[in-house]
Amino acid sequence: MFFHYTANSDKVSWIRPIYGDKAFGEYSTTRQKVVVGIRQKSQDVNVPDETSKGGIIEVDYAPSEEMIVTKLVVKIQAALSDIRLEDARIIISGGRGLGGPEGFIEPQVLANLLGGTVGASRAACDAGWVPSNLQVGQTGAAVAPDLYIAVGISGASQQLAGITNAKTVVAINIDPEAPIFKRANIGVVADYKSVIQVLTEKLKKVLV
């Protein structure tokens, strides 16, 4: 990305490659403050000016409670495991129906119990509930597990495209009209919490 500043105006202009570096686009802004990102190694490293010194401006600022945003982040161990979604034999995948990052805790426990891994729908990843490397679908990982359990996933076309080669698909959803049921070999219309909890407890008695 290339930058140049026009001294005769307050406008900052820049040129950057577009369409896979096949063309260049010229942009400009009159904003007083601009934050930009520059491609790695696209610019020569400037020699630091040792004589330049910055100043500290103290600002008396106290945000109200309404302005403070908190976000619950649940660490999904599968994101750090050695099991790639493409290689997993068992995937417990969660979607928007889990309601938030905390909803992935029970699927994670079940996945650990079965020696599988956790996946997620695009909606869950876009919401920041789980890492993007857990996304299953057309814009994520195309998987072919022996068992794919879709928990709270409605079954958008891009999700279905990612599980085309799954051998057995189990869908758990409170909406009986969810598209995922058309792909599922086994469908359960119920609150996922009651199903996952019971299934986990039953399996613990058998496997542990």
Provide the greatest CA pair distance for the chain: 78
Q: What is the mean pLDDT of residues 144-163?
A: 93
Q: Where are the domains of the chain?
A: 1-40, 77-207
- For the cut 60, the answer to whether the pLDDT of residue 30 exceeds it is yes
pTM of the full structure: 0.64
- For the cut 90, the answer to whether the pLDDT of residue 81 exceeds it is no
Q: Burial of 100 by CB count in 10 Å (0-12 exposed, 13-18 middle, 19+ buried)?
A: middle
Q: Contact at 8 Å (CB) between 203 and 195?
A: no
- For the cut 50, the answer to whether the pLDDT of residue 5 exceeds it is no
* C-alpha triplet 15, 7, 3: angle, nearest 5°: 20
CATH number of the structural domain 77-207? 3.40.50.1220
